Amino acid sequence: MAALPAFFSRPAVVVTSAVLCCFLWGSAYPGIKVGYELLAIGSRDLAAQMLFAGYRFFLSGILVLLLAALLGRSLWRLTRTHWRQVALLGLAQTTLQYVFFYIGLANTAGVKASIMNATGTFFSVLFAHWIYHNDRLSYRKALGCAIGFLGVITVNLGGGLLDFEFTLLGEGFIVIAAAVLAGSAIYGKEVSQSLDPMLMTGWQLLIGGAVLTVIGWSGRGEFGDFDVASGSLLLYLAFLSAAAFGLWSILLKHNPVSQLSVFIFLIPVFGTLLSGLVLGERVLEWKNLAALVLVCGGIWLVTRR
């Protein structure tokens, strides 16, 4: 255990682990849409979407807490303040964010969603400017945000330059989900200063997933029976959240945030490529490629030292 900080500070380990996290998060876009198809969940069936999300994140929380227990963490030794904090974090980062994310993804293409969800980086910069006195919005960061949002506009262009394809329940909810995630991540950073990141991640996923499940049940959500394909997919989605969030929290604990944030631009890259490969969506349209370049360029400007 004593060698853990040194191990997760090695450059090769940091790069490999960060790229793996981004790949896992990127694979969630086509994975969720395939899950909707396998379980016959319609784009307007909000209760079933919430139930599917709830199962996924409740199981993710269990996986993270099991890993934490295997690593010797005491799962229940949280103060009252910690319980309130992880409950609030779970309601925001898991429940509220994924209410918007799952509904949005059901109403737009995986390629567009993966690109637009990357706006969370820019929201993080804007929120940090208002919250932290030592992290103000510089000219470079402002330029990066402007370029990134230009990419969002580009990916929503229709057949012509004057056509704009944007709906509140689709693209709009994806952007709202990104903003909610950015705000809750800043709060999570504060919580992690006094609570083990793995415990924080596990409990917030479990609590947030439980609330999503209750929402789905309350709305009488239901979907097709699980078979080998859909059951395996649900396990994969739960695993990717547990692995990515758990590993990322360890990396954040032992490395500077600025060193890791540069890798975030890989999420829309992986999400776009995997959506094209798995869902057969048209990736090589000029607007998708242009938007991807603009968003990644904006994130690079915002996060580089």
> How far is Cα 282 from Cα 259, in angstroms, rounded to an integer?
33
- Residue 233 located in a structural domain: yes
- Residue 34 located in a structural domain: yes
Tens of pLDDT, residues 31-55: 988 998 999 888 788 899 899 999 9
- Residue 46 located in a structural domain: yes
Tally of domains in the chain:
1
Dihedrals φ, ψ of 265, to 5°?
-65, -15
Q: What is the dihedral angle through the alpha carbons of 23, 237, 98, 278, rounded to the nearest 10 degrees? A: 60
> How far is Cα 301 from Cα 69, in angstroms, rounded to an integer?
39
CB 294 within 8 A of CB 140: no
According to the model, what pLDDT value does residue 56 have? 94
Q: What is the DSSP letter of 157?
A: B
Domain encompassing residue 294: 28-303
- Residue 185 located in a structural domain: yes
**64-to-152, 197, 239, 276, 292 alpha-carbon distances in Å:** 33, 10, 9, 30, 32
> How far is Cα 228 from Cα 133, in angstroms, rounded to an integer?
52
CB 114 within 8 A of CB 22: no
According to the model, what pLDDT value does residue 39 have? 92
pTM above 0.75?
yes
* Long-range CB contacts (within 8 A, 24+) of 157-160: 157/287
**Rounded average pLDDT over 211-236:** 92
According to the model, what pLDDT value does residue 260 have? 67
Tens of pLDDT, residues 264-290: 767 777 887 787 778 776 666 776 677
- Residue 13 located in a structural domain: no
**Rounded average pLDDT over 187-209:** 87
> How far is Cα 128 from Cα 122, in angstroms, rounded to an integer?
10
- Residue 231 located in a structural domain: yes
3-state SS class at 77: coil
- Residue 2 located in a structural domain: no
Q: Taking CA 27 as the corner, what is the angle to CA 276 and CA 8, rounded to the nearest 5 degrees?
A: 140
Q: With CA atoms as reference, report the closest residue to 125 among 152, 150, 149, 96.
A: 149
According to the model, what pLDDT value does residue 163 have? 46
Task: Flag whether pLDDT at 23 surpasses 50.
Answer: yes
CB proximity list for 193: less than 8 A, separation 6 or greater:
none
- Residue 153 located in a structural domain: yes
Tens of pLDDT, residues 139-179: 777 777 677 667 766 766 655 544 456 777 888 888 898 88
How many other CB atoms sit within 10 Å of the CB of residue 127? 17
